[in-house]
Structure 1
């Protein structure tokens, strides 16, 4: 699914079920909170921290989806076309890093 469709889907959900968007500052705080939940799972499940029993049932996919949802909300309410922004970012990274990663001995 294209990002544009995801942005529209989130906007329709907000208008149907969410009443309205939270303001941008509230959504930024929520995004930070959701990112922290992703970090906690990664640190404990894949990093060196021990995973608490209560963390073992946490769904990484669900937490990543939370980050995506709030990111889409922020894009919608600030007028950002994420598909266009993402396409430009991929082009920029491709041009800038054309050989960089291929020549990185640390990645071999």
Structure 2
């Protein structure tokens, strides 16, 4: 599925099952909440915290939830994520094309 297709599928789902999009501000709060849920799992998988009994690592699920809400915000703001991601690649390539290659901190990894 392409990003554009994902944007269309989320919009179709919202229209069919969700009735309407939450407000932009509510979706921003939801995005923050979802990122927090990912952070919680990451702290347990890669950090020093442990899972409670019955909990499990669900990094993929949390990433998908973040992507879903991000797509909702993009749809609400008429943002073409495919187009914006392409611009981001161009910007980062121009800005960082030598920065990371010449970073001695990264060469030791």
TM-score range, shorter chain: over 0.9
Counterpart CA distance in 1 for 2:48 and 2:93 is 33
> C-alpha displacement at 1:20, in angstroms?
0.8
Q: Which residue of 2 aligns with 1:28?
A: 28
- 1:1-108 superposed matches below 5 A: 1-55=1-55, 57-108=56-107
SS in 2 for 1:21: coil
TM-score, normalised by the number of residues in structure 1 = 0.92
1:61-97 Cα shifts (integer Å, max 9, x gaps): 0111000000000000111111111100011001111
Over the aligned positions, Cα root-mean-square deviation in angstroms equals: 1.2
1:20-59 Cα shifts (integer Å, max 9, x gaps): 111111111111111000000001110122333343x241
User: How many residues align structurally?
Assistant: 107
